[in-house]
């Protein structure tokens, strides 16, 4: 029986939310996106087991904005906001909504 490891990325995102300047020197969704991409790349290169806590997030963002474009979640949030700082705030609003939905869905199984 395989047990899922906790999503360390989620814990890191919580820390980034509290103080993005500590991690990146700026409040930028670009920085967060590139960090997340690097996090997943490292996990794949090391063949480490991880739980993809963002699985389904891109579809969630597209549904939230009723947008069927080919933009990824990062591009869509940037498109829908005025500044990188606004995009970070929106990202964390959306991620909290998404985590709330996924926790509710996982609890009902």
Q: Is residue 28 part of a domain?
A: yes
pLDDT-derived band at 109 (thresholds 50, 70, 90) equals very low
Q: Is residue 53 part of a domain?
A: yes
Which residue is listed with tokens 């009902």?
Answer: 108
Q: Is residue 12 part of a domain?
A: yes
Lowest-confidence segment of 3-7, 35-39, 67-71 by average pLDDT: 3-7
Mean pLDDT to the nearest integer, 1-28? 83
Q: Is residue 1 part of a domain?
A: no
Tokens (6 digits) for 99? 């985590």
Q: Is residue 56 part of a domain?
A: yes
pLDDT tens for 18-66 read: 999 999 999 999 999 999 999 989 888 887 777 788 999 999 999 999 9
State the Cα–Cα distance between residues 77 and 29, nearest whole angstrom: 9
State the Cα–Cα distance between residues 20 and 36, nearest whole angstrom: 13
Q: Is residue 2 part of a domain?
A: no
Q: Is residue 3 part of a domain?
A: no
**Number of domains into which the chain is organized:** 1
> In which domain, by residue range, is 45 found?
8-107
Please state the pTM of the whole predicted model: 0.85
pLDDT (0 to 100) of residue 107: 63
């Amino acid at each position: 029986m395989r047990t899922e490891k906790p999503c360390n990325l989620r814990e890191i995102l919580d820390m980034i939310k509290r103080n993005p300047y500590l991690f990146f020197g700026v409040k930028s969704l670009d920085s967060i996106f590139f960090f997340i991409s690097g996090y997943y790349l490292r996990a794949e290169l090391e063949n480490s087991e991880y739980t993809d806590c963002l699985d389904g997030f891109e579809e969630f963002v597209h549904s939230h904005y009723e947008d069927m474009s080919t933009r990824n979640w990062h591009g869509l949030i940037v498109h829908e906001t005025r500044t990188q700082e606004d995009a970070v705030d929106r990202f964390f609003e959306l991620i909290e909504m998404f985590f709330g939905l996924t926790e509710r869905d996982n609890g009902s199984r």
